[in-house]
Chains A and B, each alone.
Chain A
Amino acid sequence: DAGVIQSPRHEVTEMGQEVTLRCKPISGHDYLFWYRQTMMRGLELLIYFNNNVPIDDSGMPEDRFSAKMPNASFSTLKIQPSEPRDSAVYFCASSFLAGEAYFGPGTRLTVL
């Protein structure tokens, strides 16, 4: 298994543009988490899914953020419109139950 796959690895965009981050979890895992990592706030849980169903999105900072999981092998995190303060590394992680999470390599987002 290639582990959790995220794309793109790097994204540079201009303020106001739509950004879509993608994640492929490990096959068989039933939990998927989206985290945001910044120097100031560390690792923040944005949203997580259990069996493709969003369970808790209270960490999503604003309505500009949305996430979907249309099937067990794919999830997206969308920011529309993007702002410079959204610049961060976004991690996707999956697990079987929420015990040990396997993280993707992250997407480094820069919004100019």
Chain B
Amino acid sequence: AQRVTQPEKLLSVFKGAPVELKCNYSYSGSPELFWYVQYSRQRLQLLLRHISRESIKGFTADLNKGETSFHLKKPFAQEEDSAMYYCALRAFQGGSEKLVFGKGTKLTVNP
């Protein structure tokens, strides 16, 4: 079964501090993972995907197949990073594909 686990429902840090949002997955195939973000009163949007190996808004995430993790990191958090973050797994199913999301982590960056 495909599953995405985000162990922290809430995460609070101070501005300028490092931040790490945890994501673990369970999937028998080769995983494709994403981070989506939802800012206050905005729709969910893609933040980054592991296959791109890019840094968006200072965030990076590395896929660790050994630990089945895809943690999102930023060395210096900013107040505008406060949002809801969702980790997602692209899972193949009988010729089709679906996106399975974790329950999300609400990040609050305090001044």
Contacts and interface: CB of A to CB of B under 8 A. Distances in A.
B97 interface: yes
**Interface size grouping (class) on chain B:** 20 to 34
Nearest to B102: A42
Interface stretch (B22-30, B39-47, B54-62): B39-47
Given A42-B104, A43-B104, A97 B97 contact: yes
A112 interface: no
**Interface size grouping (class) on chain A:** 20 to 34
Contact of B43 (A33, A98, A105): A105
Given A43-B103, A45-B100, A55-B98, A99 B86 contact: no
B101 A43 contact: yes
A98 B104 contact: no
A56 B98 CA distance: 9
A98 B101 contact: no
By secondary structure, the A interface counts as strand
A105 to B, nearest CB: 5
Nearest to B104: A42
B86 A42 contact: yes
Given A42-B101, A45-B99, A48-B98, A106 B86 contact: no
Interface of B: 6, 32, 34, 36, 43-46, 49, 86, 88, 90, 93-94, 96-104
Interface of A: 3, 31, 33, 35, 41-45, 48, 50, 55-56, 91, 93, 95, 97-101, 103-106
